[in-house]
């Protein structure tokens, strides 16, 4: 892998990881256009590792919030009065909301890495979930804020989040934001909740994948460029990870500003178009399914 290919893939990961448009679908298309075998072990490991950069961006961006919530949670554990703090409830909500996706990831790991990673699944989920997002986005009773989060809300959002590894085209943010809107949270709160609920799950999954898949970065993998065999290499992987961190940071800032005064209509139609493009590429045999 060349450095410029690593930069492109890092940019794609950084932009799409937290937008409700499926980072998986975008990476599959761009990896294919760059000439990589999208289901090769090396490129799969590379994709898992560069996600860590985007996760780090979210942690940096929300660091003050994370510290505040963690501190409130610990205070509430040992101080009865501290349990009246909304951040104490939010802390428990994030913990509880992270359980479903962890269970699904462990129980269905083989299916997720196998048949459920098919481009047909990604494309179908992109299109079908767009209509779920459309229904959520049309709600007019969105008035709840961060202080209104309950454990029931967190559990429901967590269950929606658990759908994303099963059907990657849904996108984790697309699932959690939709759930937040259905629970009547305003768009900014639904989006922030999506980040808060996702950070523990993404950190755990990112570290696990990075450790278990790291060996494939320097092992032979099919690369279609020039019809030869090759390796990804740690140099390009590190470059892509750092690029993804920087780009994801600005992507998060942009998304939070965007949703404060806009609906998700543009994302919804973009998802549908992307899903159709993937179906066409799969039908014509231009992309491995």
Q: What DSSP assignment string belongs to 27-62?
A: HHHHHHHTTB-TTSHHHHHHHHHHHHHHHHHHHHHT
Q: How far is residue 111 CA from its own chain's centroid?
A: 18
**CA-CA distance, 213 to 21, in Å (whole number)?**
25
Contact 94, 69 (CB under 8 A): yes
Least confident of 39-53, 130-144, 146-160: 39-53
pLDDT band at residue 196 under the 50/70/90 scheme? very high
Averaged pLDDT for residues 178-189: 95
**CA-CA distance, 43 to 107, in Å (whole number)?**
24
Contact 72, 262 (CB under 8 A): no
The predicted structure's pLDDT at residue 257: 95
**CA-CA distance, 3 to 124, in Å (whole number)?**
33
> Which stretches of the chain are assigned E, i.e. beta strand?
221-222, 229-230
């Amino acid at each position: 892998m060349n450095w410029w290919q690593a930069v492109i893939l890092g940019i794609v990961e950084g932009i799409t990881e937290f937008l409700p448009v499926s980072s998986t679908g975008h990476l599959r298309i761009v990896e294919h256009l760059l000439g990589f075998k999208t289901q090769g072990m090396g490129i799969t490991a590379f994709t898992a590792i560069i996600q860590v950069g985007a996760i780090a961006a979210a942690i940096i961006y929300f660091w003050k919030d994370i510290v505040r919530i963690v501190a409130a949670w610990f205070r509430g554990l040992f101080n009865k009065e501290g349990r009246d703090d909304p951040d104490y409830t939010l802390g428990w909500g994030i913990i509880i909301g992270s359980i479903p996706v962890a269970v699904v990831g462990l129980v269905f790991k083989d299916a997720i890495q196998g048949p459920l990673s098919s481009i047909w699944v990604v494309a179908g989920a992109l299109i079908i979930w767009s209509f779920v997002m459309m229904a959520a986005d049309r709600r007019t009773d969105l008035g709840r804020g961060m202080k209104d989060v309950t454990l029931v809300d967190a559990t429901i959002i967590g269950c929606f989040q658990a759908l994303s590894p099963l059907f990657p085209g849904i996108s984790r943010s697309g699932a959690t934001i939709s759930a937040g809107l259905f629970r009547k949270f305003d768009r900014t709160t639904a989006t922030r909740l999506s980040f808060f609920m996702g950070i523990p799950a993404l950190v755990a999954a990112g570290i696990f994948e990075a450790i278990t898949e790291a060996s494939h970065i320097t092992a032979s993998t099919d690369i279609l460029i020039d019809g030869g065999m090759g390796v990804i290499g740690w140099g390009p992987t590190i470059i892509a990870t750092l690029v993804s961190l920087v780009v994801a940071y600005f992507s998060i800032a942009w998304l939070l500003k965007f949703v404060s005064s806009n609906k998700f209509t543009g994302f919804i139609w973009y998802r549908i178009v992307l899903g159709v493009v993937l179906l066409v590429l799969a039908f014509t045999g231009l992309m491995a399914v």
